[in-house]
Amino acid sequence: MLSIITNKKIWVLYSYIIKLILKLYGIDVGKRFYIEGTPQIKIKGKASNISLGNNISIFGSIDLRNRENGKIIIEDNVKLDNNVRLVAARDGMIKIGQDSSIGPHTIINGGGNVIIGKKVIFSKNISINANEHNFKKSNNISDQGFVYKDIVIKDDVFLGANVSINKGVVLGEGSVIGANAVVTKDTEPYSINVGIPSKKISERL
pLDDT over 50 (residue 20): yes
| Mean pLDDT across the chain | 93
Which CATH number does 2-203 carry? 2.160.10.10
6 — pLDDT class (breaks 50, 70, 90) = low
pLDDT over 60 (residue 2): no
Mean pLDDT of 78-83: 98
pLDDT over 60 (residue 1): no
pLDDT over 50 (residue 14): yes
Mean pLDDT of 98-105: 99
pLDDT over 50 (residue 35): yes
pLDDT digits (tens, 9 = 90+) for 138-166: 788 777 777 889 999 999 999 999 999 99
pLDDT at 114: 98
What are the CB-based long-range contacts (under 8 Å, 24+) for 23-32?
A: 27/51, 27/52, 28/52, 29/56, 30/54, 30/55, 30/56, 30/76, 31/55, 32/56
Mean pLDDT of 175-187: 98
pLDDT at 5: 54
111 — pLDDT class (breaks 50, 70, 90) = confident
Burial 79-101 (b: 16+ CB within 10 A, else e): bbbbbbebbbbbebbbbbbbbbb
Q: What is the pTM of this model?
A: 0.91
pLDDT at 141: 76
pLDDT over 90 (residue 122): yes
Beta strand ranges found along 103-198 (DSSP E): 107-109, 114-116, 121-122, 127-129, 131-133, 146-148, 151-153, 158-159, 164-165, 170-171, 176-177, 182-183, 191-194
pLDDT at 140: 82
Give the residue, 41 or 133, on which the prediction is more confident: 41
